[in-house]
Amino acid sequence: MRKINKNKRFIYLISPNKIKNEGFFYSLDQVLSSKKVSFFQLRLKKESIRNQIYIGKKIKKICKKHKVKLLINDNPKLAKIINADGCHLGQKDMNILKAKKILKNKIIGITCHNSINLAKKAIANGASYLAFGAFYSSNTKKTKYKASLKILSLAKKLTNTPIVAIGGIKDSNYKKLLLNKANFLAISGYIWNNEKLNPKEAITKLI
């Protein structure tokens, strides 16, 4: 039997699309106390920059307390203002080389969908990690691209750059991705929008 990735902090946690009240910060503190999260990505597409800065600085303190790296989605300049640990860039966002000029040696991850060519380009430009997906259907984000498990083995043969799997990941399907050598699993809806479990209970199901 193949061994599961032994990385105890295998979760790459993404924020909900909206942070509605201060209670979120308590929930985040509870979730990060599980010691299963390596990265937290703040992804607030429809929030003002002012609010993103306020929220980001509060989250930064919680992440620091639990030794979790804070990444900002899409916006290297905001990541610099908040003094986050880095950012995540989609294919339509700022070019990674421009982002590096802003963030210097901080973490910059790149969305590669289901494409080895995009992965090769990201590796050549010094991406900190490669994100592939969506592996499963998701309610958090409309999935234009579908990724197969085969992309994980192809990427592993290509590079030692860490790989993040994303898209509809939950307690019933996450182990398959770890068995196929994904280093981190990007999870959002299962934690924040779970109809049966609160965020702390949901993360305890991911062993």
Cα 191 to Cα 171: distance, rounded to the nearest angstrom: 10
For every residue of 126-181, DSSP letters joined together read T-SEEEEE-SS--SSS-------THHHHHHHHH--S-EEEESS--TTTHHHHHHTT
pLDDT-above-70 percentage for the chain: 95
Write the CA distances from 12 to 21, 104, 175, 191, integer angstroms.
Answer: 22, 22, 15, 11
pLDDT-above-90 percentage for the chain: 90
Average pLDDT for the chain: 94
Q: Supply the pLDDT for residue 3.
A: 57
pLDDT digits (tens, 9 = 90+) for 73-93: 999 999 999 999 999 999 999
Which pTM does this prediction carry? 0.95
pLDDT digits (tens, 9 = 90+) for 99-142: 999 999 999 999 999 999 999 999 999 999 999 999 998 776 66
All structural domains of the chain, each given as residue ranges with its CATH number in brackets, are 11-204 (3.20.20.70)
CA 55 to chain centre: 17
Q: Supply the pLDDT for residue 1.
A: 41
Residue 184 has pLDDT above 60, yes or no: yes
Q: Supply the pLDDT for residue 6.
A: 61
Return the minimum-mean-pLDDT range out of 1-15, 49-63, 103-117, 175-189: 1-15
pLDDT digits (tens, 9 = 90+) for 25-43: 999 999 999 999 999 999 9
